[in-house]
Structures are given as C-alpha cells and as structure tokens.
Amino acid sequence: MFATALIVFRESLEAALFVGIIAAATQHLAGRIRWLSGGVAAGALGAVLLALAARTLSEALDGIGQDLVNIGVLTLALLMLLWHCIWVSNHTREMVAEAKFLGHEVQSGQRRPWALMVAVALAVLREGAETVLFVSGSLSGSEAPVAQVVLSGALGLGLGVAAGAVIYAGLARVPTRHIFSVTNTLIALLAASLASQLVRALVQAGLLNLGTETLWDSSWLLTQESALGTLLHALVGYDAQPMAVQGLAYVATLAAIYLGSRALRRGHPAPAPVAVAAPR
C-alpha cells in the first residue's frame, strides 16, 4: 500500500516542485494560472500517450528508444530554461523596472511565458509517463485490489502536489524586490540539474563514453533515497554518486547562464536602481 504511494510521490515530487517554482516566478503575470494549467494538462496527456507507447518505444532502436525520447525531452526542457534564464528574465527585469518607473501595471507589458510553459509540460510529461506506467501496471497485476492501488496512488500524488504548494507558498512570501533573484537562481539550478540528467541519459544509452568515472560518493552522508536526498535531488539535482561528466555539465550550465546574463546586461544597462529611486 505505502510502497505504491511512495513511488508515485517520488515521481510526482520533481514535477510538482518545478511547477511550484515556476508559478512563483510568474506571479506578476496576468492569466498565468491558465498557462500553467495548460502546460500541466498537455504534459499529463503526453504522459498517458507515452505510457501507452512504452512497450514499442522501449524495444525500438536496439533497446535504447526510451532513452532517446528522454534525451530529446531533457534537451528541449534545458533549452527552454536557458532561454528563460539568459534572455527572458533579463528582459522582464527591465520591463518590470520600466513599468514601475512609468507607473504602469506590470501585467500590461508582459508577454506570454511560453518557454516556461513548455518546460512545465515537459517536466510533467517526463515524470508522469513513469507514474502512469507504474500505476497501470499495478492495476493490471493481481498483486493488490484496484481500490487500494488507486487510493495509494492518489495519496502519493496528493503529497507531491502538496510539496509543490508548500514551495510556492514559501516563495510567495519573498519580498517583490528579491523574487526575481530568488526564482532565477532556483530555475538556473533546475537547468543545471537537467543538464546533469541529460548527460547521464546519454551515457546510459551508450552515446557518450567519456568522463564516466565517479566524481564523489556522498551516499555515506546523504543517500538519494532519503527524504532530504530526494528533495535536494528534485530541487538542485543532488546526486550521491555523480559521474565526472555530470559535474562538468552542471557547472558549465551555471557558467553559461551567469556569463550569458552578464553579457546581456552589459549590452543594456539595467534601469532597476533608477526605477526604485524614482517614485520617491
């Protein structure tokens, strides 16, 4: 009973935390609930389709079909987050500052945050497909009564969603002037985590064969299955036994975001300090 709930919780946690962070990052946008729900719904639909095709996909391309789909999804999600971190967030920062300066509603000048919506859909798709496969497998297997599987699955999903709500509520209390820095840092860490997972998927599929030696082993200190380990894995990509190439991808992603943002800001000096001082 609790095994099912635990597995569904683990699978849904990552996507739920992701959605919670994105919801907090876009709280200044009008109509974001619609866009977020759309992303989640599209991801959930995709997850069901992916789970239906799982058998065929798994055996495709000499047994690595599933990895290739995973690699594609991770790459696209990573690109969306990089696009957001480097370009959109700097652009938004300027627009918010300008809007404050001009006394406009911030909402009026915003575009639709499509990159984040796609990233949300992909996160739900990735974690959701495994959940659907697992739950449908438990339902078809004769191991446990249907009601029990459904109930414990719902319990696990509920706990995952609750974790997402908790992080959203926490971030919603961050003062407005800090919220961009906080959510941008979290999204940058999520991007680095995706890059690390992407590299791991490439190695698993036999497409990348370099730097596979273990970088460190901190499983004596904090295993990935522990509650804190699971949470840190979902939030910042904690890995108890990462490969060297995963560490490289992680650091390179953070560096690319940092350098990219700096280059953009140098091009357009941020009007933020002026805007904060101006209303007085």
Partner 1 sequence: MPSLRPLLATLALASVALAAQAEDVEALLVIKNHRFEPAELKVPAGQRVKLTVHNQDTTPEEFESKSLKREKVVPAGAKITVFIGPLKPGRYDVFGEYHEDTAKGSVVAE
Of the two residues 101 and 134, which places its CB atom closer to partner 1 in the complex?
134
Residue 233 makes contact with partner 1 by CB under 8 A: no
Residue 64 makes contact with partner 1 by CB under 8 A: yes
Residue 243 makes contact with partner 1 by CB under 8 A: yes
Residue 91 makes contact with partner 1 by CB under 8 A: no
Smallest gap from Cβ 83 to partner 1, in A, equals 10
Residues 1-40 that bind partner 1 (CB under 8 A): 3, 7
| C-alpha distance from residue 265 to each of 226, 261, 262, 272, 280 (Å) | 40, 6, 5, 11, 25
Of the two residues 88 and 179, which places its CB atom closer to partner 1 in the complex?
88
Residue 255 makes contact with partner 1 by CB under 8 A: yes
Of the two residues 16 and 202, which places its CB atom closer to partner 1 in the complex?
202
Residues in the chain: 280
Residue 119 makes contact with partner 1 by CB under 8 A: no
Residue 47 makes contact with partner 1 by CB under 8 A: no
Of the two residues 83 and 101, which places its CB atom closer to partner 1 in the complex?
83
Contact 54, 140 (CB under 8 A): no
**Site residues (vs partner 1, CB under 8 A):** 3, 7, 54-55, 58-59, 62-64, 66-67, 78-79, 82, 130, 133-134, 137-138, 140-141, 143, 195, 199-200, 202-210, 212, 214, 219, 223-225, 240-243, 245, 249, 252-253, 255-256, 259-260
